[in-house]
Amino acid sequence: MLNDKIALVTGATRGIGRAIALELGRQGATVIGTATTQDGADRISGFLAEAEIKGKGVVLNVTDVAQTDAALADLAKEFGAITILVNNAGITRDNLTMRMGDDEWDAVIDTNLKAVFRLSRGVMRGMMKARKGRIVNISSTAGIRMTFFGSLDYTVSKHGVAGLNQHLAWELADSNITVNTVCPGGVQTPLMESATTPEYREMTVKRLVPLGRFTKIEEIGEMVSFLA
């Protein structure tokens, strides 16, 4: 059970992040879920309350340095040390490499990699003082190998998370902080739908997934909860 734990889940408005927030809450954690808009934060507060989970939604664009620092300071005051960080927020900006704009590259690296560094750094001190902590990153099979054409930025960002994980796991182990990364294959979420065609999804499931189906968001929630 995660009763005395304070969990911060980035990108909890929908998809995988929402499922993770709900599962950590079911296991007893107080859950803070982030959204890029006030409407999203209110929706998170709503579904947490409906499930009788302690916590709330907050506005946090993980690419915004000042907002990140301010949000972490506010949360520390209100809830105490964050002892579970789930770096879930992620985006795609797919394009063939020769057409990929710097803006696409920067957006993906900032959201999927740089923010993981910044948030991990931001919660580390509190975890060290508490002598306990769990950092769980949501990467992708694209963080292990190349998955599909047009996703150089995404593949590089997720491979970066693998390196960050390796480094931090060693650096923080003595403080009783574990760092793990979950690498899902296909999960049917709005991100997956916006990045692929129905034909591609059908082909992927048939040819690459032994179970013949996408992973369910709840299954990712359970895996993250185990690691936490």
Q: C-beta of 191: minimal distance to ligand NDP in Å?
A: 3
Closest to ligand NDP by CB, 14 vs 54, is 14
Closest to ligand NDP by CB, 29 vs 217, is 217
Closest to ligand NDP by CB, 130 vs 160, is 160
Interface contacts to ligand NDP, rule CB under 6 A: 10-17, 34-37, 40, 60-63, 88-91, 111, 138, 140, 184, 186-187, 189-192
20 contacts 55 by C-beta, under 8 angstroms: no
Q: C-beta of 112: minimal distance to ligand NDP in Å?
A: 6
Closest to ligand NDP by CB, 61 vs 130, is 61
85 contacts 134 by C-beta, under 8 angstroms: yes
Torsion angle of the four alpha carbons 12, 190, 140, 33, in this order, in degrees rounded to the nearest 10: 0
Q: How far apart are CA 115 and CA 113, in angstroms?
A: 5
Q: C-beta of 3: minimal distance to ligand NDP in Å?
A: 26
Q: Concatenate the DSSP letters of all residues of 168-200 into one string.
A: HHHHHGGGTEEEEEE----B-SHHHHHHS-HHH
Q: C-beta of 4: minimal distance to ligand NDP in Å?
A: 26
Helix/strand/coil for 76: helix
Residue positions annotated with a catalytic role = 154
Q: In which residue are the tokens 């189906």 written?
A: 213
